[in-house]
Amino acid sequence: MKTYLPKIDKLNRTVDEQPREWHLIDADGAVLGKVATKAADLLRGKNKPTFTPHLDTGDFVVVINAEKVVLTGRKETEKVMSTFSGWRGGQKRFTPADVRAKHPERLVERAVRGMIPRNRLGRQIFKKLKVYAGPEHPHKAQAPAALELA
């Protein structure tokens, strides 16, 4: 029995399959973790029978209404997120409420980024995620298929 490996061309499209699909996730009233999990699985291609861990076989994902995503419990005000620049005094701490006030799409982006590999492949996969704070998005020409979160 031989292991099947999908063929990838130089433009990063799968050759022996249909082209990459576009999916639309509406995050209005949805829990952040469920949105991020579904998006990460679609980006990596885990929903396909040809999933290969070391290749990018996933689809494009558009997330709209990121400003209306819900965090459970008291995470909105009590969870502490941080970044570090590497310089002395370069540590910044903030809550999801602070992020939502300035850049609400970064809540979803940060959650999805934590669920994909931390290497060149992960950076390549992350570029296929498009997150928008409101209900409008510029990808109508790609006709993204709407997904229901369970």
Domain ranges of the chain: 22-147
Q: Write the CB contacts of 64 (distance below 8 Å, at least 6 apart in sequence).
A: 24, 25, 26, 27, 28, 132, 134, 135, 136, 137
Distance CA 33, CA 70 (A): 9
Structure tokens at 130: 């498009």
CA neighbor of 91 nearest in space, from 82, 100, 78: 82
Mean pLDDT, all residues of the chain: 92
Residue 103 has pLDDT above 80, yes or no: yes
Distance CA 150, CA 141 (A): 27
- Give the HSE-up count for residue 92: Cα atoms under 13 Å, Cβ half-sphere: 6
CATH code: domain 22-147 is: 3.90.1180.10
Averaged pLDDT, 88-109: 97
Averaged pLDDT, 112-121: 97
**Number of Cβ within a 10 Å radius of residue 132:** 19
SS3 at position 41: helix
| CA angle (29, 30, 34) in 5-degree steps | 170
Structure tokens at 120: 């060149």
What pLDDT, on a 0 to 100 scale, did the predictor assign at position 140? 97
Residue 14 has pLDDT above 60, yes or no: no
Distance CA 9, CA 12 (A): 5
